[in-house]
Structure 1
Amino acid sequence: MKISNPFILNRADPHISLYDGQYHFTASVPEYDRIVLRRSPTLAGLVDAGERTLWAATPEGPTCSLVWAPELHRIDGTWFVYFAVAPSREIRDDLFQHRMYALRCRAVDPMQGEWELAGQVDSGIDAFCLDATSFAHRGVQYYLWAQKHPDIPGNSNLYLAPLRDGLYIEGEPVMLTRPEFDWEVQGFLVNEGPSVLIRHGRVFVTYSASATDERYAMGLLWADADADLLDPASWHKSPAPVFVSDAEREVFGPGHNSFTLAPDGVTDLLVYHARNYTRIEGDPLWNPDRHTCIQPLRWDADGMPVFGRPQREVEIPEATR
């Protein structure tokens, strides 16, 4: 199956997940005013699939503005969507005022069931936070997110903690990474947009860094699958970015990725957003031209991911019969 990038237009922070033979897609919409979900039995079908609005920002209050980066997760038979939202567009101390919240749906079918605002996911640090994801490993459900720490310079670091009932953080959050290398501090000091892939005896975490223009790039953390993931010493960090802009292919600012599986059930797919130009007119926040892209992820002989260059035309392996 051939797919051209951009794959889905005007959808940033893309999250594609595969459940029960169906691909589910959610992402930030350019208006930042709602959470939407698409579903299709095929990847290609996501492009034109009908889109359901699961929840819309409230007229006022803590959930009224700038809805960012939703992710869909199935945890213990319940659907959750994690997302960031702010009480206003006001910037204080050079930061927006986002906090993390969760939607919940107890029905089997997320496209038909009733969704409710389950509440805030409180990290214990009352500060700007965003871009949460969740994953299960060795019988523990984890919550991984980006957050500003009042005592650490910069915009956001990555934190990890166990998660109970899809909504409650257990214990003291552990910081996995903070912006420290030159490529992570271009424009803004940012580590955000984490995504998890467990393969070849390791737990991999990708993340994005720097300003959300052509300087945006992806980094990589990894830990041994048998290690204590809540021990910062278990984690290794690549000093260089693993996925960057490619002027020759007109792909700029690739990042805020997720992972899914190809129809063959074997090939890992990298899902990310990018622009195809650098001259952004007006406020970059309101520029709608971050598009969803997708391409196969490769692996080297040592079991490490090989991201390669952004691709404009890709071949996605089909299901085998």
Structure 2
Amino acid sequence: MKFSKRLLLVVSLVIMGHTLLAQRTFTNPIKDSGPDPWVLQKDGWYYYMNTTGSNLTLWKTRNVADLASAESKVIYTPPKGQPYSRDLWAPEIHSFPDEQGKDRWYIYVSADSINNLSHRVWVLENPSRDPMQGEWTMKGKLGDEDNHWEIDMSVINYKGKLYAAWSGWEGTTNGRQDIYIARLKNPWTIDGKRVKISQPDQPWERHGDVPQAWQKNGEVPKVYVNEGPEFLPHNDRLFIVYSANACWLDYCLGLLTHDGKGDLLDPKSWTKSAGPVFAQAPENGVWAPGHGGFFRSADGKQDWMIYHANASADDGCGNKRAPYIQPFTWNPDGSPNFGKPAPKTPMPVPAEN
């Protein structure tokens, strides 16, 4: 009788444990602040970064929903006086194999030395197995041959070749940000010229009124924005999800689609969505969602997106932007279906191994 009771107790505890695990939840946002969030899931670990402005901070956790309590470390602070010493924006950590097949870590970050006019993208490298350890060294500026203004670079190994996409200016002055793509010789060198594949030319991308503080002599200048491009491969197709409008307005996500057959460097091989594919949801308390990124759950079965958003319509472009995550699905035609920003209610965490 005692044995039966003990067995029943053990079975009950096991069942309760599995139930609690299955029901483990989180509520957005996953951290109080975190503009321009980025997540890489590798070998069961999630590596997370966001804009801090002054340094590169890396978070490491077994589940990105636990980010608020995750281990974090300042892994790089730029020396003063360098052309990459100020305004560090939108850092991304990636892992690519070297010529010997050994994985190396790379971080791509936008930075300047004086003001926004000098923003360029810079690359750091770390050969350590764990990016929280070892030394991060500056490899240099990753720019096109004409040294154009650029921010928000992301990189992908697509069919055995490296490509970079970023937001840049066509000329030397601001006013319109376009999306460019280029081949890479290696993780820190562009191979050939950049190619423009998108500019804010649709009505839904051109809500460009600037804040009143920027206006001069009663004039209301326009700033049209395509930025924050992120690669999203699926089956035989490649997508680029980018942010449109501006972070102080109704920021939203647009979609560029490549059918996987033509040259990625041919602008004609990319098709733009007819409207935003992810927009703010005031009814759910989510405004100006942007800078979307994508990752798989640790068990490799779930597709998730990460983005920053504001908790009110007037929060603007500062540190009130916080990181949100939510799962997404795929439409019958193979394109991503992001739905809309989820309400701030408990949802299951990304599946674990």
> Normalising to structure 2: TM-score of the pair?
0.83
Report whether the alignment pairs 1:231 with 2:251: no
Partner of 1:67: 88
Report whether the alignment pairs 1:261 with 2:296: yes
Distance in 1 between residues matched to 2:295 and 2:269, nearest whole Å: 25
Task: Give the 3 Å change call, closer, same or farther, for CA 8–153 of structure 1 in structure 2.
Answer: closer
Render the CA deviation track for 1:176-209: whole Å, top value 9, x for unaligned: 1011112222222111101111113210110001
Render the CA deviation track for 1:236-261: whole Å, top value 9, x for unaligned: 10020111111111101101011011
Distance in 2 between residues matched to 1:144 and 1:156, nearest whole Å: 13
**Secondary structure, in 3 states, of the residue corresponding to 2:201?**
coil
Distance in 1 between residues matched to 2:249 and 2:301, nearest whole Å: 32
CA RMSD for the aligned pairs?
A: 1.7
Residues 48-67 of structure 1 aligned to structure 2 (within 5 Å) = 48-67=69-88
Query: How much does 1:45 deviate?
Result: 3.0
Task: Give the 3 Å change call, closer, same or farther, for CA 184–58 of structure 1 in structure 2.
Answer: farther
The answer as to whether partners of 1:190 and 1:210 remain within 8 angstroms in 2 is: yes
Report whether the alignment pairs 1:26 with 2:49: yes
Partner of 1:82: 108
Render the CA deviation track for 1:113-149: whole Å, top value 9, x for unaligned: 1111111112123232100000011111111111111
Runs of 4 or more above 3 Å deviation: 151-154
Partner of 2:314: 279
**Secondary structure, in 3 states, of the residue corresponding to 1:183?**
helix
Query: How much does 1:152 deviate?
Result: 9.2
**Which protein is bigger by CA-based radius of gyration?**
2
Partner of 1:244: 279
Tell me the number of residue pairs that the alignment of Structure 1 and Structure 2 aligns.
309
Distance in 1 between residues matched to 2:250 and 2:276, nearest whole Å: 11
Partner of 2:34: 11
Of 41-50 and 132-141, the range deviating more from structure 2: 41-50
Distance in 2 between residues matched to 1:125 and 1:190, nearest whole Å: 21
**Secondary structure, in 3 states, of the residue corresponding to 2:50?**
strand
Residue identity in the other structure for 1:209: A
Residues 105-124 of structure 1 aligned to structure 2 (within 5 Å) = 105-124=126-145
Distance in 2 between residues matched to 1:16 and 1:298, nearest whole Å: 18
**Secondary structure, in 3 states, of the residue corresponding to 1:191?**
strand
Q: Which has the higher helix share?
A: 2
The answer as to whether partners of 2:33 and 2:323 remain within 8 angstroms in 1 is: yes
Distance in 1 between residues matched to 2:117 and 2:144, nearest whole Å: 17
Partner of 1:172: 193
Residue identity in the other structure for 2:336: P
Query: How much does 1:44 deviate?
Result: 2.7
**Secondary structure, in 3 states, of the residue corresponding to 1:17?**
strand
Distance in 1 between residues matched to 2:239 and 2:270, nearest whole Å: 9
Of 292-301 and 45-54, the range deviating more from structure 2: 45-54
The answer as to whether partners of 1:64 and 1:87 remain within 8 angstroms in 2 is: yes
Query: How much does 1:64 deviate?
Result: 2.0
Query: How much does 1:109 deviate?
Result: 1.1
Distance in 2 between residues matched to 1:9 and 1:273, nearest whole Å: 11
The correspondence for 2:242, drawn from 200, 207, 220, is: 207
Partner of 1:296: 327
**Secondary structure, in 3 states, of the residue corresponding to 1:28?**
coil
Unaligned runs of 5+ in 2: 1-23, 98-102, 209-222
The answer as to whether partners of 2:162 and 2:185 remain within 8 angstroms in 1 is: yes
**Secondary structure, in 3 states, of the residue corresponding to 1:74?**
strand
The answer as to whether partners of 1:275 and 1:290 remain within 8 angstroms in 2 is: yes
Unaligned runs of 5+ in 1: 90-94
**Secondary structure, in 3 states, of the residue corresponding to 1:46?**
helix
Distance in 1 between residues matched to 2:148 and 2:193, nearest whole Å: 15
Distance in 1 between residues matched to 2:331 and 2:66, nearest whole Å: 31
Partner of 2:6: none
Residue identity in the other structure for 1:50: E
